[in-house]
Structure 1
Amino acid sequence: MTRSLRNVKLGVVGLVLIMLAAAWYFGVFARLGEPRALAQVLVEMGAWGYLAFIITYTVLQPFGVPGSIFIVAAPLIWPWQTAFALSMVGTMSASVVGFSFARFVARDWISARIPTRLRKYDEALERSAFQTVVVLRLILWMPQVLHSFFGVSKVGFWTHFWGSLVGYVPPLLLVSYLGAEMFDASGKMQPAAWPIMTGLLVASLVIAAFARAYERRRLSSSPRELRVVQRG
């Protein structure tokens, strides 16, 4: 690693630390303690609340703030269509930041700390990267460790981007559309949320099972197709 590149990486790390310290100093973390507090602040900002929502989500979620705070707060503030659009933009932006930070800034440090339960997907990413990204995003959503795992893996940037986009659509659409039924004004889950979340989980597992079955079938047929080509 050249000295200039090392300095750039240290500068990015320093900038992240400064942004987190500023967020703490100005009470952003305190306001994020519950979705209702976040909703009140954004409503008071009017149209600027859209931009504040996306920037805050993008900057803070990759470095420790749960994304669920934002996607739960959105339908408490705006119509579900607006909530869905802003949740998608914020979630994708945060995913790109987390992915890029792991790949280009702190790859070695993060790679040594990826849980074993995610490492088992390395081989699946090499075989079918797009499909694996979609399934993992569909089931696990947006944890910071998943951003990091994709960042230190061999998956390409655009494969990660489009796979994440596809995987995020069902859960974010569901939360945005049924947010008022799933959560109360304080962001706590209501009884009606459990069957909805259970249905989403079951649907995600079924999709993952079909994806795995398709991949196994494709791999098992590949040698046969290769032999046919060789004979021809």
Structure 2
Amino acid sequence: MISINFKKNNFIFKYGGIVIVVAFLIIAAKQMEITTTINGFLSTLLQGIDSLGFWGILIFIGVYILATVFFLPGSILTLGAGAIFGLMGGSVLVSLASTLGATVAFLIGRYLARGWVRKQIEKRPNFKAIDNAVAQEGWKIVGLTRLSPIFPFVFLNYAFGVTQVSLKDYILASWLGMMPGTILYVYIGSLTKNLATLGTGNEPANTVQWLIRIIGFMATVGVTVYVTKIAKKALNNQMTEQDKTDFQENDQNKTTQLSKEETS
């Protein structure tokens, strides 16, 4: 009986693991397929925008805002801006469009989807830490997280909507925090001769890409350390306040008890 159970468990463990691995690979392949499809669509859209002149500028801004709101990858649009409008024009347009898109998502998170955003934050400990840090430092945290690739840009837009940061501070900090990455990505896009290669991994490779990775890594470390420090400080302050409350309650209880004893 024990032997049969052992063989059964061994069978389940062995082939169950294979099923899990295969399922993971299928999901990963589907995700890559979806990403490739989206990038291909955006690349085709950029080629159309390139031929529209002034109207192409307005359409690009509108598409970028929609991409930000609907969780679509903005990197290919940023690269495309460099290829179409050049370094200067592309940087200005992406900076404007990304800030507008981030602001729209922020307002949706604050006024229309607050409950859903709150639930998503509760599932992610790192966002809960950011929430606590924003309560202490406000715009500084917004700006720092914009520099770090570890925090997803699109979801942050919604997440900041349920924090205590003001709209004015959010817009200014987001604009400044996104500027370095915007310029670097637009520059890489400006080196691209063919819009069809965007999002395929065939963009020109150079030291700028390494610079982006290095800046992103340094920003990630800095944000993580800073947010952790602020979160610990907030926790300590909260514990101190709780200790004071407990002490006051105990002192009040003792006073009440003494009054009763004196009366009796």
Q: TM-score, normalised by structure 1?
A: 0.70
Q: Is the Cα contact below 8 Å between 2:117 and 2:158 reproduced in 1?
A: yes
Report what 1:151 is aligned to.
Answer: 161
Q: Distance between the aligned counterparts of 2:162 and 2:61, measured in 1?
A: 25
Query: Aligned AA for 2:103?
Result: V
Report what 2:143 is aligned to.
Answer: 134
Gapped runs of 5+ residues in structure 2? 1-36, 235-264
Q: 1:174 aligns with which of 167, 171, 184?
A: 184
Q: Is the Cα contact below 8 Å between 1:74 and 1:83 reproduced in 2?
A: yes
Q: Is the Cα contact below 8 Å between 2:82 and 2:187 reproduced in 1?
A: yes
Q: Distance between the aligned counterparts of 2:76 and 2:148, measured in 1?
A: 18
Report what 1:105 is aligned to.
Answer: 112
Gapped runs of 5+ residues in structure 1? 1-29, 220-232
Shift of 1:161: 0.8
Report what 2:214 is aligned to.
Answer: 199
Report what 1:75 is aligned to.
Answer: 82
Report what 1:94 is aligned to.
Answer: 101
Q: Is the Cα contact below 8 Å between 1:183 and 1:190 reproduced in 2?
A: no
Query: Aligned AA for 1:117?
Result: N
Q: Is the Cα contact below 8 Å between 1:59 and 1:94 reproduced in 2?
A: yes
Q: Distance between the aligned counterparts of 1:91 and 1:127, measured in 2?
A: 26
Q: Is the Cα contact below 8 Å between 2:69 and 2:104 reproduced in 1?
A: yes
Q: 1:50 to 1:161 in 2, by over 3 A?
A: same
Report what 1:125 is aligned to.
Answer: 134
Q: Is the Cα contact below 8 Å between 1:67 and 1:142 reproduced in 2?
A: no
Q: Which has the higher helix share?
A: 2
User: Which one has the largest radius of gyration?
Assistant: 2
Secondary structure (helix, strand or coil) at the match of 2:120 reads: coil
Q: Is the Cα contact below 8 Å between 2:39 and 2:76 reproduced in 1?
A: yes
Shift of 1:211: 6.0
Q: Distance between the aligned counterparts of 1:121 and 1:182, measured in 2?
A: 36
| Number of equivalenced pairs | 189
Shift of 1:214: 10
Query: Aligned AA for 2:179?
Result: V
Q: Is the Cα contact below 8 Å between 1:76 and 1:179 reproduced in 2?
A: yes
Shift of 1:128: 0.5
Q: Is the Cα contact below 8 Å between 1:91 and 1:142 reproduced in 2?
A: no
Shift of 1:51: 0.4
Q: Is the Cα contact below 8 Å between 2:64 and 2:74 reproduced in 1?
A: yes
Q: Deviations over 1:191-217 (max 9, x none)?
A: 42642322222442466479679979x
Q: CA RMSD in A?
A: 3.0
Asked whether 1:162 is paired with 2:169, we answer no
Secondary structure (helix, strand or coil) at the match of 1:79 reads: helix
Query: Aligned AA for 1:63?
Result: F
